[in-house]
Structures are given as structure tokens and as C-alpha cells.
Chain A
């Protein structure tokens, strides 16, 4: 199906483990984004990518790594998970990076770090 998908939808992991969250979009959008959503903080940008092989830090990048070898995929890796990374993670894509472009969000991944 066309759209933007995330996997897994739910993940429980232990402190110190590496975790990768997957994001796939079928629109060939140039821009892709990773956000985390926590109560009281709204959505905070972790990393974004303007095109394949081009990534840049957002507001809260520490402890996360991204890559974008293909336009349609934008995985987010937590190299050594911490309890403070318990959150709901949203991937989004858009045609452009400007504020006038709509961002299309995936359904989210709820990550719990024990």
C-alpha cells in the first residue's frame, strides 16, 4: 500500500541494547524526519534528511544515529538504549523542507526501555 509505514509498532527493550526503528515511504519524497513525542513536550525533531546520503541533526539528536542509503527508507538506531529514550517515535516525509510543505506522518512506534 502507498504511504508511510513504521516498524515495529511496539518495542520493549533493555537498557544498553541497540534498537533500530524502520521507516519506509512510497511517495519518493525528498525529505524525511524522525520525531519523538513525550507528554508535555509535543513533537521534537531528532534527525532529518533532505535526500539520500544527506542527513542533519535536529533538536534532540544525542544517542541516536540515522542513515539514508535509499530515498524511501530512513532507519533510526538507538546505539545503547536508555530509559530516557522511552517514547513514541514518529517518522514523517514531505516533498520539501520548507514550512509550507505538508509533513505526512507514519503511525508511530511506541518504544519502552526497561
Chain B
């Protein structure tokens, strides 16, 4: 089983601050997805990255896939209370099944 380590596990910041969440593995993934989950709900896809070095932007969120396709990062600029939630990365292995990281729980205080 391929492992994905997410850091930090918990993050509490003030509105307007910037933050970066990391997703690391020793394994190579064919693609990597980021999901966001709110309490009492299932995860919802934010982005999929498939090419090493790829950068995708979604409003204030910037996602990067490492050159070797073993790691990824999520950067949020000027965080807002609405960004509060659990952020999960998930890598697709050779069998194309997803392996999820343990998640980063983000709280943005007004």
C-alpha cells in the first residue's frame, strides 16, 4: 500500500493569512487529487493534477504537483473563514485506485 503523508495535521490561522499544506510520498503517482470535506458531509473534489511540475489555480487556491510526481502542495492566499474544513490529498496508483492522505484540518478564524 502506498502511503501519503500530509502536513500539518492541524492548522489554525487568522483570516487574511496565507498557508501551505503538503502531501508527500516515497511512491510515484499517476495523478493526484485534492478534496475538501466539511463536517457531516463527504469529500468534494477541488482539483486533479496529472503532469509532473503542473500548477493549477482555483481562485485563491494554488495546487502544485512535484516534478517526480511523488508530492504535492496546496497554497491558499488570504484565507477566509469559508475555507475552513478538512483537506485531503489522494494519489492514484498503478491500479488506478486512490490512496488518501490523513488530511489537514484547517480552521480560519474571522
Residues of A within 8 A of B (CB): 35, 40-45, 48, 58-59, 90, 92, 97-100, 102-103, 105-108
Chain A hits for B40, CB < 8 A = 107-108
Contact of B43 among A43, A97, A98, A100 (CB under 8 A): A43
Contact B88 A42 (CB under 8 A): yes
Asked if B48 is an interface residue, CB under 8 A from chain A, the answer is yes
Give chain B nearest CB distance to A89 CB in angstroms.
10
Interface size class of B (residues with CB under 8 A): 20 to 34
Contact A105 B31 (CB under 8 A): no
Give chain B nearest CB distance to A50 CB in angstroms.
10
9-residue interface stretch from B14-22, B53-61, B72-80, B92-100: B92-100
Give chain B nearest CB distance to A61 CB in angstroms.
12
Contact A42 B92 (CB under 8 A): no
14 inter-chain pairs at a CB distance below 8 angstroms, sorted by A residue, are A42-B6, A45-B97, A98-B31, A98-B96, A99-B31, A99-B92, A99-B96, A100-B48, A100-B50, A102-B45, A102-B48, A105-B41, A105-B44, A108-B41
